C-alpha cells in the first residue's frame, strides 16, 4: 500500500506530461494542416461555382451576397458577363434530410432556369439518399431538374400531388429527395432576393 502511495504522484505526473505532449502535438498538427485544408475548401468552392454557373467574366466570390432566412444562410455568387447578370451559383441548405443537413450548390441562368448543381455535403444513407448527386440530373423519366425553370416548375416530388410535384423521387429515399428539392427551391428564393437588391 505504501509502495502504491509513493508511486502515485509519479504516475499522475507521467499522465500529466503525456497529456501535455499529446495536446502540444495536436496543436502543431492543427497549425500545419489548417492552411492546406482551408485552401482545399476554397478550391472545391471555386470549382463548384464554375461547374454550375453560366460563363462569367467577374469574380463571383468577390461579389458574393449573403441572405439569412429561418436560421439558415444562403450565399449567392452572381455571374456577370461584362455588366450583365447572366445567372448565379447559389449555396443553399436545408435541415430536412433523413439524417440532417443537405447542402448544395445550384446554378441558375438569369431567368431562373436550372443550369446544374453539385451536392456539397450530406449525411444521407449510402446507396439511397446519397444518390441525389446523380439522380436529379439523370434525364430518365422525370428525375432531372436540369433545364427546368425554378420560377414556373413545381420542384416537389411527384408523390406530393397536392403541390403538383414534377420530380421523381429517389427510390426508397423520398425524404432525401424532398430535402434536396427544398434546398433547390431555397436556392432559387435566395437568387430572387438578390435580384431584388439590384432593383432597389
When divided into structural domains, the chain yields a total of: 2
> Which uninterrupted H or E stretch holds 58?
none
Same domain, 23 and 63: no
Same domain, 181 and 93: yes
Entry pTM: 0.78
Same domain, 58 and 46: no
pLDDT of the chain along its 200 residues, tens only? 555 556 666 777 777 778 878 777 777 776 777 677 767 766 777 788 999 999 999 999 999 999 999 889 999 999 999 999 999 999 999 888 778 888 999 999 999 999 999 998 887 777 777 899 999 999 999 999 999 999 999 999 999 999 999 999 999 889 999 999 999 999 999 999 999 998 87
> Which uninterrupted H or E stretch holds 105?
strand 100-109
Same domain, 109 and 21: no
Q: Helix/strand/coil (H, E, C) string of 108-144?
A: EECCCEEEEEEEEECCCCCCCHHHHHHHCCCCCCCCC
Cβ contact 155:145 at 8 Å: yes
Cβ contact 93:186 at 8 Å: yes
Residue 85's SS3 state is: strand
Cβ contact 124:173 at 8 Å: yes
User: DSSP readout, 150-188?
Assistant: TTTS--SBTT-GGGT--BPPPTT-HHHHHHHHHHHHHHH
Same domain, 41 and 100: no
Same domain, 33 and 122: no
Domain around 159: 53-199
Amino acid at each position: 500500500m505504501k509502495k502504491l502511495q509513493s508511486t502515485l504522484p509519479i504516475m499522475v505526473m507521467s499522465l500529466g506530461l503525456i497529456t501535455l505532449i499529446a495536446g502540444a502535438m495536436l496543436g502543431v498538427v492543427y497549425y500545419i494542416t489548417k492552411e492546406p485544408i482551408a485552401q482545399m475548401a476554397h478550391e472545391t468552392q471555386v470549382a463548384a461555382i464554375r461547374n454550375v454557373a453560366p460563363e462569367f467574366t467577374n469574380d463571383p466570390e468577390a461579389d458574393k451576397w449573403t441572405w439569412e432566412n429561418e436560421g439558415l444562410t444562403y450565399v449567392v455568387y452572381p455571374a456577370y458577363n461584362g455588366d450583365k447578370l447572366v445567372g448565379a451559383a447559389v449555396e443553399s441548405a436545408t435541415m430536412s434530410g433523413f439524417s440532417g443537413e443537405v447542402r448544395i450548390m445550384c446554378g441558375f441562368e438569369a431567368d431562373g432556369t436550372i443550369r446544374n448543381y453539385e451536392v456539397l455535403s450530406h449525411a444521407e444513407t449510402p446507396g439511397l439518399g446519397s444518390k441525389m448527386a446523380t439522380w436529379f440530373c439523370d434525364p430518365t423519366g422525370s428525375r432531372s431538374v436540369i433545364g427546368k425553370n425554378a420560377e414556373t416548375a413545381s420542384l416537389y416530388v411527384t408523390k406530393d400531388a397536392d403541390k403538383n410535384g414534377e420530380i421523381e423521387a429517389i427510390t426508397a429515399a423520398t425524404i432525401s429527395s424532398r430535402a434536396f428539392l427544398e434546398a433547390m427551391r431555397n436556392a432559387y428564393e435566395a437568387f430572387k432576393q438578390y435580384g431584388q437588391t439590384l432593383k432597389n
